[in-house]
Amino acid sequence: MSEQLVQAADVYDWDEHVKPPIGTVERALWLAHWHMEWENPEQLDKLAELYHPEVEWETPGRRIYQKGNVPKIIENYRAICDSLEFISARRVDRFATPDRVFDDSEALVKLVSGHGFPNHPMPVGSLVDMRIVHSFHIKDGLIIRENSYELWRKPV
């Protein structure tokens, strides 16, 4: 794949009010950047701006799936935020083509409730070193599909 089609995210300084052109790698990376930035209790409503009306949202490891229901997806994120105490997070890697973004991150969290994590594999109260891989599909300048692959691990 040519370097023009795949670009790493580290070369950009994003402005939430300046959207790159639709159909570009920059737009795809802009969407992923603001998705991760707004994934917090104070800014969750902004996430709705990033989703296509026909979005599919899936976490296969916990058998969670939503289609075409942006308010329900935002409600799911609210429950996730209420269920975790975030300790730290870091991006491992992020790159994109005009219609796909791959994001690999790690987060150290405490699971304080199971409400936002149906089918969670560790007990409530656990400290979790979670590796999270997102695969975003982009259509019409919006996220049309989001797959989140979670690897739940005890911290070492």
Strand locations in 98-154, DSSP E?
A: 100-111, 127-139, 142-153
CA–CA separation, 23 and 21 (whole Å): 6
* Residue pair 45/114 in contact by the 8 Å Cβ criterion: no
State the Cα–Cα distance between residues 140 and 142, nearest whole angstrom: 6
CATH number of 7-153: 3.10.450.50
pLDDT tens for each residue of the chain, 156 residues long: 444 444 555 557 788 889 999 999 999 999 999 999 999 999 999 999 999 999 999 999 999 999 999 999 999 999 999 999 999 999 999 999 999 999 999 999 999 999 999 999 999 999 999 999 999 999 999 999 999 999 999 999
Q: Residue ranges per domain, the chain?
A: 7-153
* CA 137 from centroid of its chain's CA atoms: 12
Q: Which pTM was predicted?
A: 0.90
